[in-house]
Amino acid sequence: MGLTKTENFTEAQNELAKMLKALAHPARIAIIEHLIKANACIGNDLVDVLGLAQPTTSQHLRELKEAGLIKGTIEGTAMNYCIDQVKWKQYADTLSTFFTTVNFPENCC
Amino acid sequence: MGLTKTENFTEAQNELAKMLKALAHPARIAIIEHLIKANACIGNDLVDVLGLAQPTTSQHLRELKEAGLIKGTIEGTAMNYCIDQVKWKQYADTLSTFFTTVNFPENCC
DNA sequence: ATACTATATTGCAATATTACGATTAATAAT
DNA sequence: ATTATTAATCGTAATATTGCAATATAGTAT
DSSP codes joined into one string, A19-47? HHHHH-SHHHHHHHHHHHHHSSEEHHHHH
Say if residues A43 and A34 touch (Cβ distance below 8 Å): no
Return d(Cα A4, Cα A2) in angstroms, integer. 6
pLDDT score, position B109: 62
Q: What integer pLDDT is reported at residue A39 of this predicted model?
A: 76
Q: What is the pLDDT of residue B48?
A: 95
Percent of chain B having pLDDT more than 70? 95
What pLDDT is recorded for position A42?
86
User: Is B76 near chain A, with CB under 8 Å?
Assistant: no
pLDDT band at B4 (very low <50, low <70, confident <90, very high): very high
Q: Write down the pLDDT at residue B57.
A: 98
* Any strand D atom closer than 7 Å to B54 CB: yes
- CA–CA gap between residue B59 and residue B69 (Å, rounded): 14
CA of residue B76 to C1' of nucleotide D8, angstroms: 15
Q: Provide Rg for chain B, Cα atoms.
A: 17
Q: How many domains does the structure of chain B reveal?
A: 1
Q: Is the pLDDT of residue A109 over 70?
A: no
A71 domain residue, yes or no? yes
**Footprint of strand C, using CB within 7 A?**
A 1-5, 42-44, 54-55, 58-59, 61-62, 72, 77-79; B 1-3, 21, 24-25, 27, 52-56, 59-60, 63, 74, 76-77
Q: Calculate the alpha carbon distances from A80 to A73, B29, B99 in Å.
A: 5, 34, 21
Residue B42 — φ and ψ, nearest 5°?
Answer: -90, 145
Phi-psi region of B76 (alpha: psi -120 to 50; beta: other; left: phi over 0): left
Q: In the structure, how far is the CA atom of residue B109 from the C1' atom of nucleotide D16, in angstroms?
A: 32
B30 within a domain of the structure (yes/no):
yes
Cα angle for residues B21, A94, A102 (degrees, 5° grid): 85
**For residue A55, is it within any domain?**
yes
Q: Please write the tens of the pLDDT for every residue from B64-100.
A: 999 999 999 998 889 999 999 999 999 999 999 999 9
CATH number for A83: 1.10.10.10
pLDDT digits 0-9 by tens, B57-67: 999 999 999 99
Rounded Cα distance, A96 and B95, in Å: 8
Answer whether A60's CB lies under 8 Å from A31's CB: yes
Instruction: Assess B29–A contact: CB distance below 8 Å, yes or no.
Output: yes
Q: What is the pLDDT of residue A40?
A: 78
Beta carbons within 10 angstroms of residue B83's beta carbon: 23
What is the pLDDT at residue A41? 84
Predicted local distance difference test score (pLDDT) of residue A107: 55
Residue B42 falls inside a structural domain:
yes
Confidence class for position B43, pLDDT limits 50, 70, 90: confident
- Write the pLDDT tens digit of every residue in A6-40: 999 999 999 999 999 999 999 999 999 999 988 77
Which 38-67 residues of chain B touch chain A by CB within 8 A?
A: 39-40, 50-52
| Domain hosting residue A79, numbered range | 20-94
pLDDT score of B27 more than 60: yes
Distance, CA of A38 to CA of A45 (rounded, Å): 10
Q: Residue B106: which pLDDT band, with cuts at 50, 70 and 90?
A: low
pLDDT, tens digit, 9 for 90 and up, residues A52-103: 999 999 999 999 999 999 999 998 889 999 999 999 999 999 999 999 987 7
- Report if residue B98 sits inside a domain: no
SS3 A70: strand
Question: Would you say residue B105 lies in a domain?
Answer: no
A78 Cβ contact partners less than 8 Å away, ≥ 6 residues apart: A42, A43, A44
Identify the closest residue of chain B to A96 by CA–CA distance.
B96
Rounded CA-CA distance A64/A58 in Å is: 10
Residue A34 lies in a domain: yes
Domain for residue A6, yes or no? no
